[in-house]
């Protein structure tokens, strides 16, 4: 929450920015799911069978026809999750470099042309089973099947980093999505029920008996508390301690969700926040968050109504996007993205990015409107046990715009780099 | 929370995986004496009770498989509980006494009986309250190898299981000189409630074979960036994990053979030249095993208690709750290892066939862990097939880079795929806009001749369902009058499991009309195996072209597979119908079937 100034890596258009960011969210989704840079043109998408147009809903100029799901908002079950397949290096996003994070080169090998016109992309390799044919087929089907990528908030977390570049891509990516007709296959994930979808009810009106004793665990509420960061930091100007934690309690569909983070230095609490949400699962990897946030620390305590989405985007990015509305017309937004890169089964690098935005100046809390700060952290942990891991890392915090001006006035750093060491644990 | 931070992999971990030589129940020492009833018993042979009247006590018993004492739930003090030997044509009476502090039950798995005797709390009866004795009584109208287990909560994971051996009323079709039950189980020192909660919190908790960045860079070096990315693309986009073979692994499980950890080396004796019948039962909560006896050909003679045309094989996969009887005829005067490795290759159960007690044979190394392939994810879509002619529209195919990544396919046996025309798959409305569903398979494969992930093209003759033909054919030759299609669904990330995206507590019963012959169509819309068990009635598996194949009580549906089976709704009452993966079942992959 403290950041430098050197070059304005994002030029905030003040209040417009908030809106832009929220817009960029679905856009980013599209961008990420747009065709790869690897030589396929954007029109390739047109041939993808189960392409999910739903995610385009928020788009200003959606060239997309149909309707499908509405993936643009969802929330995942945030677990102490480990990302399996490491995304390509390029997609381990560096928040300072949003455009790169979006780089579609991460998805070469996609070639949707091949799917073009396939009515029944089922049985490939017409005659021979040579490896070449088969493999070709497989990937064909794969790409064809992966349109689900379209649905998520894919990589939206990076949206905030570079909207400009993004919307550009988005637009182009969108362009090709028009011609979806002719495909009979649905998407492998997401999608809407086909017209001939059947009922799951085979009861003929027969109900359950009155027998007691069934004791299934399919609705049992459970809980979890993850202390993701409990650390000491050593910055250029200050040393201190920081925490970041979240917990939940509930069943598969509805959970009480708590998030908290903050830091203290020189023996006093600089900044802190506590959020409580009703988390509702709305899609495979996404859920909505509806609740409140309380800020504490230096300055007046602020209370906000909060709503957002949280989920797991393709390529295993954990994303959170939350908008806040407070008293006196205050608004704010926070976007977070997190990834886990496994070097071994126990040595895990966790990059993390966060951006905070405010709708108007709050001089008492030394926050300016627009983007207030951008944070990026890299933490390398060793899981002695799945549930307990010490880590070391480095974290950059850069204040932006008016917030940076406040910092300068206060003789505080605009950019701070911190060395951190701590533990992560959950139960 | 006590065992929250056990030591990392080290020597104690080794002991953990291999177990203690003298593990098992304290009472097990008392079971070493030969059981007179049948078979010359040897070390660790489960107790056998035979006749028509049985008294079974369910109680807590201390066990020690890993060096840490734990409380197990046992039948008559043993893990497994006693083998019950019945005779076809008799009526058995079983008085089951609950000496636990919680309700319990025993379900007679695979036995066709009146539904009130089926032992499923909440469906067939209210369960057995603490201190109570419940008396089961029913006629035995079948023969073969079956098993019993608790149907209450997670008790099955904590030791409440045993085998059933039913002698035929007439002569035994496959007489043998020796007859052993080989029961496979997965034991964990952690409580099953804890395992279930852990899976809900972090579903890949037990998977220590996840793809890593170094593997990625190695692939980049060996095969190029494009290919390395292409291979990972679908998985990454779908947020699914190709190494996800088993939800719970050897990280917490010690795999048991007849209640004995690998280090304990359960042993069955033989004299060279004898014909030995091994009755394999997978009584695990969550583990699929691949079983072989290096050096011996096994002849499969029975599946789920029903005699089949003999099939000689080197290896078979036994899914949870299945049983296979095999005959072996060791000629040499030496020991043979019975090797049952878990599907995810994180551990194995092991025992020995030997002419004398104390002998051992080499224990083979586990096979490499094979990731889930495209076929397992996409069914027929990924199944290059010689028989299909729908390729015309695919002229653009050549443009598909990344295809080179399909090495998974090379091992596939394509021969059986040609026959099956692509079936029409009808997804349920509830499979969409549903947080509990993470994928749909529109073009499932239907062939039965694929042994599954990790067994394809391994150089051994591996049993598949296509090899199984029940002797005597179907019990009901009528053509099914209707079909009930159910899809196996789940969300691995959230650890949710269901049929048609609807878990048990949100579902209505499935109604079978009394007397009808119907076809159940199962489509596996997940990337995991699901052994589906219908209580009270047989499931008569059909070949892809609709011909009778094999009669079973538990049918394993492979990832992205569509299978069909006939059911004769001739047993009135309320029945359980579920995935036999214990945690899948408890998560909601369960239906009540009502025959009326």
Residue B513 has pLDDT above 70, yes or no: yes
Q: Decide which of A90 and A322 is more confident.
A: A322
Nearest residue of A to residue B198 by CA position?
A427
Nearest residue of B to residue A74 by CA position?
B435
Describe the strand order of the beta sheet including B336-342 as a list of residue ranges. Answer: B266-269, B348-354, B336-342, B289-292, B315-318
Q: Decide which of A91 and B149 is more confident.
A: B149
CA B331 – CA B336 distance, rounded (Å):
11
CA B242 – CA A85 distance, rounded (Å):
8
- The answer to whether the Cβ–Cβ distance between A212 and B126 falls below 8 Å is yes
CA A88 – CA B417 distance, rounded (Å):
35
CA B549 – CA B468 distance, rounded (Å):
7
Residue A116 has pLDDT above 60, yes or no: no
Q: What is the pLDDT of residues A26-37, one digit of tens each?
A: 433 333 333 333
The DSSP output letter for A30 is H
Of B4, B226, B422, the CB nearest to A122: B422
B592 to chain A: which residues are within 8 Å by CB?
208
pLDDT (0 to 100) of residue A220: 92
- The answer to whether the Cβ–Cβ distance between A342 and B211 falls below 8 Å is yes
CA A129 – CA B416 distance, rounded (Å):
13
CA distance, residue A8 to nearest chain B CA (Å): 33
Average pLDDT over residues B474-501: 97
Nearest residue of A to residue B238 by CA position?
A314
Q: Provide the 3-class DSSP secondary structure of residue A81.
A: coil
Question: Is the pTM here over 0.90, yes or no?
Answer: no
* Cβ–Cβ under 8 Å, residues A371 and A11: no
Of B202, B210, B395, the CB nearest to A342: B210
* Cβ–Cβ under 8 Å, residues B222 and B348: no
Given pLDDT bands bounded at 50, 70 and 90, which one contains residue A191? confident
CA distance, residue A319 to nearest chain B CA (Å): 13
Q: What is the pLDDT of residues A353-389, one digit of tens each?
A: 999 999 999 999 999 999 999 999 999 999 999 999 9
Tokens of A231: 């650390």
Asked if A51 reaches chain B (Cβ–Cβ under 8 Å), the answer is: no
- The answer to whether the Cβ–Cβ distance between B201 and A145 falls below 8 Å is no
CA B126 – CA B19 distance, rounded (Å):
37
Q: Where are the beta strands (DSSP E) in B482-572?
A: 482-491, 496-499, 510-512, 517-524, 530-534, 539-542, 548-552, 554-557, 562-568
* Cβ–Cβ under 8 Å, residues A228 and A244: yes
B238 to chain A: which residues are within 8 Å by CB?
146, 148, 188-189, 314
Q: Of A6-15, A17-26, B578-587, where does mean pLDDT reach its minimum?
A: A6-15
pLDDT (0 to 100) of residue B234: 87
Q: Provide the 3-class DSSP secondary structure of residue B83.
A: strand
* Cβ–Cβ under 8 Å, residues A350 and A362: no
Nearest residue of A to residue B444 by CA position?
A122
| Stretch 136-175 of chain A: residues touching chain B, C-beta under 8 Å | 136-146, 148-149
Asked if B482 reaches chain A (Cβ–Cβ under 8 Å), the answer is: no
Q: Decide which of A213 and A107 is more confident.
A: A213
Of B153, B202, B242, the CB nearest to A215: B153
What does the mean pLDDT of chain B come to?
88
DSSP string across A161-209? G-HHHHHHHHHHHHHTTS--TT--PPPSSS----TTPBPS---TT----
Given pLDDT bands bounded at 50, 70 and 90, which one contains residue B24? low
What does the mean pLDDT of chain A come to?
69
Angle at alpha carbon of residue B66, lines to B196 and B197, rounded to 5°: 10
Q: What is the pLDDT of residues A224-275, one digit of tens each?
A: 999 999 999 999 878 999 999 999 999 999 999 999 999 999 889 989 999 9
Optimal mutation site among A202, A212, A228, interface B, most CBs of chain B within 10 A: A202
The angle, 0 to 180 degrees and rounded to 10, between the axes of the packed helices A163-175 and A15-33 is: 40
Other CB atoms within 10 Å distance of the CB of residue B396: 18
A193 to chain B: which residues are within 8 Å by CB?
427-429, 431-433
Given pLDDT bands bounded at 50, 70 and 90, which one contains residue A136? very low
- The answer to whether the Cβ–Cβ distance between A77 and B494 falls below 8 Å is yes
Residue B410 has pLDDT above 50, yes or no: no
Asked if B466 reaches chain A (Cβ–Cβ under 8 Å), the answer is: no
Optimal mutation site among A216, A257, A385, interface B, most CBs of chain B within 10 A: A216
Residue B133 has pLDDT above 90, yes or no: yes
Of A87, A114, A202, the CB nearest to B510: A202
CA distance, residue A40 to nearest chain B CA (Å): 9
CA distance, residue A178 to nearest chain B CA (Å): 19
| Stretch 104-123 of chain B: residues touching chain A, C-beta under 8 Å | 121-123
pLDDT (0 to 100) of residue B341: 98
DSSP string across B274-323? --EEEEEEE--SS--EEEE-TT--EEEEEETTEEEEEEEESEEEE-TT-E
Please state the length of chain B.
596
Asked if A227 reaches chain B (Cβ–Cβ under 8 Å), the answer is: no
Asked if B386 reaches chain A (Cβ–Cβ under 8 Å), the answer is: yes
Residue with tokens 């880590």: A391
Q: Where are the beta strands (DSSP E) in A211-302?
A: 222-234, 239-250, 254-265, 268-283, 286-297
Average pLDDT over residues B251-277: 97
B496 to chain A: which residues are within 8 Å by CB?
252
Residue B586 has pLDDT above 80, yes or no: yes
| Stretch 194-253 of chain B: residues touching chain A, C-beta under 8 Å | 196-197, 200-205, 207-216, 225-230, 232-239, 241-244
Nearest residue of A to residue B427 by CA position?
A197
CA distance, residue A290 to nearest chain B CA (Å): 18
Which run of H or E residues covers position A311?
A: strand A303-313
Asked if B4 reaches chain A (Cβ–Cβ under 8 Å), the answer is: yes
Q: Which residue from B153, B7, B24, B38 is spatially nearest to B79, judged by alpha carbons?
A: B24
Q: Decide which of A180 and B50 is more confident.
A: B50
- The answer to whether the Cβ–Cβ distance between B378 and A341 falls below 8 Å is no
- The answer to whether the Cβ–Cβ distance between B384 and A148 falls below 8 Å is no
Q: Of A317-321, B239-243, B253-257, where does mean pLDDT reach its minimum?
A: B239-243
Q: What is the pLDDT of residues B517-543, one digit of tens each?
A: 999 999 999 999 999 999 999 999 999
Beta bridge partners of B75: B58, B78
Which run of H or E residues covers position A306?
A: strand A303-313
- The answer to whether the Cβ–Cβ distance between A114 and B398 falls below 8 Å is yes
Average pLDDT over residues A291-306: 94
Asked if A316 reaches chain B (Cβ–Cβ under 8 Å), the answer is: yes
* Cβ–Cβ under 8 Å, residues B467 and A284: no
The DSSP output letter for A47 is G
CA A239 – CA A236 distance, rounded (Å):
8
Q: What is the pLDDT of residues A91-114, one digit of tens each?
A: 333 333 333 333 333 333 333 333
Residue A72 has pLDDT above 80, yes or no: no
Given pLDDT bands bounded at 50, 70 and 90, which one contains residue B46? confident
Given pLDDT bands bounded at 50, 70 and 90, which one contains residue B421? low
* Cβ–Cβ under 8 Å, residues A279 and A289: yes
A381 to chain B: which residues are within 8 Å by CB?
none
DSSP string across B372-408? P-HHHHHGGGG---SS--TTGGGGGGGG-TTGGGTHH
A195 to chain B: which residues are within 8 Å by CB?
none
Given pLDDT bands bounded at 50, 70 and 90, which one contains residue B19? confident
Tell me the percentage of chain B whose pLDDT exceeds 70: 86
B427 to chain A: which residues are within 8 Å by CB?
186, 193-194, 197-198
Q: Which residue from B486, B563, B504, B509 is spatially nearest to A199, judged by alpha carbons?
A: B486
Residue A393 has pLDDT above 50, yes or no: yes
Average pLDDT over residues B46-59: 95
CA B273 – CA B174 distance, rounded (Å):
16
Other CB atoms within 10 Å distance of the CB of residue A5: 18
Q: Which residue from B325, B341, B332 is spatially nearest to B361, judged by alpha carbons?
A: B332
Counted across chains A and B, CB pairs separated by less than 8 A come out at 400
Of B8, B236, B429, the CB nearest to A316: B236
Asked if B444 reaches chain A (Cβ–Cβ under 8 Å), the answer is: no
Nearest residue of A to residue B502 by CA position?
A200
pLDDT (0 to 100) of residue B21: 65
Q: What is the pLDDT of residues B316-351, one digit of tens each?
A: 999 999 999 999 999 999 999 999 999 999 999 999
- The answer to whether the Cβ–Cβ distance between B391 and A109 falls below 8 Å is no
- The answer to whether the Cβ–Cβ distance between B123 and A211 falls below 8 Å is yes
pLDDT (0 to 100) of residue B17: 63
* Cβ–Cβ under 8 Å, residues A348 and A82: yes
B385 to chain A: which residues are within 8 Å by CB?
123-125, 129
Optimal mutation site among B119, B233, B535, B582, interface A, most CBs of chain A within 10 A: B233
The DSSP output letter for B78 is B
- The answer to whether the Cβ–Cβ distance between B398 and A136 falls below 8 Å is yes
CA distance, residue B419 to nearest chain A CA (Å): 12
């Amino acid at each position: 929450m403290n950041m430098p100034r050197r070059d304005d890596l994002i030029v905030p258009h003040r209040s417009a920015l908030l809106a832009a960011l929220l817009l960029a969210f679905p856009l980013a989704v599209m961008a990420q799911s747009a065709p790869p840079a690897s030589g396929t043109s954007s029109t390739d998408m047109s041939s993808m069978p189960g392409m999910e147009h739903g995610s385009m809903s928020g788009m200003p100029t959606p060239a997309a026809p149909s309707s499908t799901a509405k993936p643009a908002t969802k929330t995942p079950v945030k677990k102490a999750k480990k990302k399996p397949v490491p995304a390509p290096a390029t997609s381990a996003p560096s928040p300072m470099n949003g455009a790169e994070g979006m780089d579609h080169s991460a998805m070469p090998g996609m070639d949707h042309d091949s799917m073009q016109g396939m009515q029944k992309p089922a049985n490939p390799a017409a005659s021979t089973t040579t490896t070449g044919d088969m493999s070709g087929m497989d990937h064909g089907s794969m790409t064809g099947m992966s349109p689900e990528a379209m649905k998520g908030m894919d990589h939206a977390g990076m949206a905030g980093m570079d909207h400009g570049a993004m919307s550009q891509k988005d637009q182009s990516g969108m362009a090709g999505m028009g011609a979806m007709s002719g495909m009979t296959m649905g998407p492998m994930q997401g999608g809407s029920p086909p017209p001939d979808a059947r009922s799951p009810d085979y009861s003929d009106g027969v109900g359950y008996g009155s027998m007691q004793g069934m004791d299934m665990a399919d609705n049992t509420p459970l809980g979890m508390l993850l202390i993701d960061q409990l650390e000491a930091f050593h910055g250029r100007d200050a040393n201190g301690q920081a925490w970041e934690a979240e917990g939940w309690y509930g069943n598969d569909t509805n959970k009480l969700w708590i998030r908290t983070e903050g830091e203290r230095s020189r023996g006093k609490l600089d900044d802190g926040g506590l959020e409580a949400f009703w988390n509702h699962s709305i899609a495979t990897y996404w859920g909505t968050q509806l609740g409140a946030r309380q800020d504490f620390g230096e300055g007046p305590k602020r209370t906000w109504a909060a709503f957002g989405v949280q989920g797991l985007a393709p390529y295993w990015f954990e994303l959170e996007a939350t908008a806040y509305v407070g008293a006196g017309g205050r608004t704010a937004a926070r976007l977070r993205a997190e990834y886990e890169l496994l070097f071994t089964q126990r040595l895990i690098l966790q990059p993390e990015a966060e951006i905070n935005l405010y709708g108007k100046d709050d001089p008492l809390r030394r926050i300016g409107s627009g983007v207030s700060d951008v944070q990026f952290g890299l933490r390398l942990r060793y899981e002695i046990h799945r549930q307990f891991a010490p880590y070391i890392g480095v974290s950059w915090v850069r204040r932006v715009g008016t917030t940076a001006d406040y910092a300068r006035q206060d003789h505080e750093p605009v950019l701070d780099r911190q060395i951190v060491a701590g533990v992560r644990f959950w139960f | 929370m006590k065992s929250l931070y056990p030591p990392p992999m080290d020597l104690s971990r080794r002991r953990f995986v291999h177990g203690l030589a003298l593990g098992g129940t304290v009472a097990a020492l008392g079971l070493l004496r030969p059981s007179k009833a049948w078979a010359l018993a040897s070390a660790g042979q489960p107790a056998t009770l035979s006749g028509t009247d049985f008294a079974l006590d369910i109680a807590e018993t201390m066990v020690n498989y890993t060096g840490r004492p734990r409380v197990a739930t046992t039948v008559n003090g043993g893990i497994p509980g006693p083998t019950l030997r019945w005779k076809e044509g008799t009526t058995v009476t079983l008085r089951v006494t609950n000496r636990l502090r919680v309700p319990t039950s025993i379900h007679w798995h695979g036995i066709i009986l009146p539904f009130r005797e089926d032992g499923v709390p909440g469906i067939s009866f209210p369960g057995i309250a603490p201190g109570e004795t419940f008396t089961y009584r029913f006629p035995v109208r079948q023969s073969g190898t079956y098993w019993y287990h608790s149907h209450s909560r997670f008790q099955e994971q904590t030791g409440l299981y045993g085998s059933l051996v039913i002698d035929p009323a007439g002569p035994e079709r496959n007489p043998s000189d020796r007859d052993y039950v080989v029961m496979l189980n997965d034991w964990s020192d952690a409580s099953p409630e804890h395992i279930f909660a852990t899976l809900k919190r972090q579903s890949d908790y037990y998977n220590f074979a996840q793809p890593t960045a170094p593997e990625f860079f190695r692939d980049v070096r060996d095969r190029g960036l494009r290919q390395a990315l292409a291979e990972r693309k679908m998985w990454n986009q779908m947020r699914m994990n190709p190494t996800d073979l088993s939800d719970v692994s050897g990280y917490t499980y010690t795999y048991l053979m007849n209640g004995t950890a690998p280090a304990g080396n359960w042993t069955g004796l033989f004299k060279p030249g004898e014909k030995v019948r091994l009755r394999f039962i997978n009584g695990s909560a969550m583990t699929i095993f691949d079983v072989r006896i290096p050096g011996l050909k096994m002849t499969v003679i029975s599946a789920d208690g029903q005699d089949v045309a003999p099939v000689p094989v080197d290896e078979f996969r036994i899914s949870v709750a299945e049983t296979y009887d095999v005959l072996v005829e060791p000629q040499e005067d030496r020991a043979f290892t019975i090797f049952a490795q878990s599907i995810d290759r994180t551990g194995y159960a092991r025992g020995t066939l030997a002419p004398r007690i104390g002998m051992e044979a080499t224990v083979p190394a586990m096979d490499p862990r094979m990731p889930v392939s495209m076929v397992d994810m996409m069914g027929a879509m990924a199944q290059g097939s010689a028989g299909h002619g729908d390729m015309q529209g695919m002229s653009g195919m050549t443009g598909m880079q990344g295809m080179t990544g399909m090495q998974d396919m090379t091992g596939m046996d394509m021969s059986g795929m040609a026959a099956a025309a692509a079936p029409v798959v009808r997804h349920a409305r509830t499979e969409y806009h549903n947080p509990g569903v993470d994928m749909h398979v529109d073009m499932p494969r239907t062939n039965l001749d694929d042994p599954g992930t990790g067994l394809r093209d391994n150089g051994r003759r591996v049993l598949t369902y296509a090899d199984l033909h029940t002797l005597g054919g179907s019990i009901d030759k009528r053509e099914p009058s209707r079909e009930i299609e159910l899809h196996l669904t789940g969300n691995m990330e959230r650890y949710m499991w269901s049929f048609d995206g609807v878990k048990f507590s949100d579902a209505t019963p499935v109604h079978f009309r009394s007397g009808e012959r119907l076809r159940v169509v199962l489509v596996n819309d997940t990337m995991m195996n699901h052994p589906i068990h219908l209580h009270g009635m047989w499931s008569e598996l059909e070949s892809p072209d609709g011909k009778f194949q094999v009669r079973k009580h538990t049918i394993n549906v492979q990832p992205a597979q569509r299978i069909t089976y006939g059911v004769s709704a001739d047993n009135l009452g309320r029945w359980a119908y579920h995935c036999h993966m214990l945690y899948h079942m408890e998560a909601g992959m369960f239906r009540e079937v009502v025959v009326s």
